[in-house]
């Protein structure tokens, strides 16, 4: 883990480092390694979901439409051929807070992590992931202080 994550809370550092490594792998056309899946699934899901939400909000400051969500889904699936559209849709719905608990089991944490990284990489559109991870953690911290 590099020193660029020292400003983050200790539990978030390995997740941030693994996410940055996984984004780099996807950008190089490789499968993300298992480092991210080895982290706490609840914390990883919260951080990655927040990054997805922040990227969607940034790309659509006037709000998202169903067409915007459809575009994000299809772009990710085109960019990462291994993507399962149902999992990407599940991630988008979860990040936007519209995931309905219909009794269907959630995808496995390692599947969610790999797909979240592919979605994040696509939404980043070449931008660095580090500022988004830092922003996500600040957003999580703010929301926990106000709860």
Q: How many CB atoms lie within 10 A of CB 96?
A: 15
pTM of structure: 0.92
Residue 1 lies inside a defined structural domain of this protein: no
Residue 21 lies inside a defined structural domain of this protein: yes
Residue 3 lies inside a defined structural domain of this protein: no
pLDDT of residue 105: 85
Residue 15 lies inside a defined structural domain of this protein: yes
Q: Which helix (H) or strand (E) holds 145?
A: helix 130-145
Residue reference for tokens 């849709």? 89
pLDDT of residue 1: 46
- DSSP code per residue over 67-108: HHHHHHHHHHHHH-TT--HHHHHHHHHHHTT-----SPPPPP
Residues of the chain above pLDDT 70, percent? 97
pLDDT of residue 147: 60
Joined together, the tokens standing for residue 120 give 């994040």
Joined together, the tokens standing for residue 89 give 């849709």
pLDDT band at 119 (very low <50, low <70, confident <90, very high): very high
Total domains in the fold of the chain: 1
Per the structure, the complete domain to which residue 56 belongs is given by 8-145
131-147 average pLDDT score: 87
């Amino acid at each position: 883990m590099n020193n660029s994550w020292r400003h983050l809370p200790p539990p978030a550092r390995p997740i941030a480092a693994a996410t940055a490594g996984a984004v780099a792998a996807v950008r190089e056309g490789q499968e993300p390694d298992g480092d991210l899946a080895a982290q706490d699934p609840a914390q990883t899901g919260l951080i990655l979901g927040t990054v997805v939400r922040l990227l969607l909000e940034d790309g659509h400051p006037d709000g998202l439409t169903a067409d915007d969500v459809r575009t994000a889904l299809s772009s990710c699936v085109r960019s990462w051929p291994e993507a399962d559209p149902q999992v990407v849709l599940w991630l988008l719905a979860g990040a936007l807070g519209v995931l309905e608990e219909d009794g269907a089991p959630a995808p496995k944490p390692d599947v969610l992590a790999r797909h979240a990284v592919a979605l994040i990489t696509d939404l980043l559109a070449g931008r660095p992931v580090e500022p988004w991870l830092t922003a996500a953690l600040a957003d999580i911290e703010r929301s926990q202080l106000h709860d």
